[in-house]
Amino acid sequence: MEIEILRYPTNDDWSRCLFLARVTQGRDGIVTPSDDWKKKILSAEHSPIRTLMYTIAMWQIPYFASVHFVRHKFGVEHYVKSQRVNPNRGEDRQDSAVNHVMDLNAQALINISRKRLCYKADPKTREIMENITKEILKVDPVMHSFLVPDCVYRSGCHEFQSCGFYEKRMQ
């Protein structure tokens, strides 16, 4: 398995994001926002963050994990190399490897991490999401406090059965 960040927001993308945010306040002009402002708008989850795009390649991940990611459908497009080589699809195993590329906005990335970093998520899918988070933070450290499990975001796990992560963290 290999995670590759093929695209993440550039300075121009961030300037555009700030411009869009300022339009709503009747102001204009293109300026590059500070890291402080970037964190503020990511935290507020205002609509301009939906213009910040990421392209994430997941090379050779298990088919079942790919299916988990495909469940997320808002602000994300999925491109998966399907297994048409084998005419007898019934023989394809659930853990056979596929290549899966997600093209998604910052809000979608935050939303997906909330679900897939939870300890109630499938362990393999969670491991992939952890690797994605690690790779994103290398190139885009401003995302640091936003790619967290739901239980951190909501001060407690809201799954039917708590994953226990938050309680353990608070001890």
- What is the sign, positive or negative, of the torsion defined by CA atoms of 170, 69, 109, 97? positive
Site for Zn ion in 29-88 (CB under 5 A): none
Which listed range, 29-37, 55-63, 67-75, 111-119, lies at the site for Zn ion (CB under 5 A)? 111-119
Nearer to Zn ion, 56 or 151 (CB): 151
How many CB atoms sit inside 10 A of residue 48's CB?
20
Element (H, E) at 84: none
121 lines the binding site for Zn ion (CB under 5 A): no
163 lines the binding site for Zn ion (CB under 5 A): yes
Question: Which one, of 39, 134, 114, 55, lies nearest residue 17 by Cα?
Answer: 39
**For residue 74, which amino acid is it?**
F
Give the phi and the psi of residue 99 in degrees, each rounded to 5. -100, 130
The least CB distance from residue 171 to Zn ion, in Å, is: 15
The least CB distance from residue 13 to Zn ion, in Å, is: 31
Nearer to Zn ion, 128 or 151 (CB): 151
**For residue 165, which amino acid is it?**
F
Interacting residue ranges for Zn ion, rule: CB under 5 A: 118, 151, 157, 163
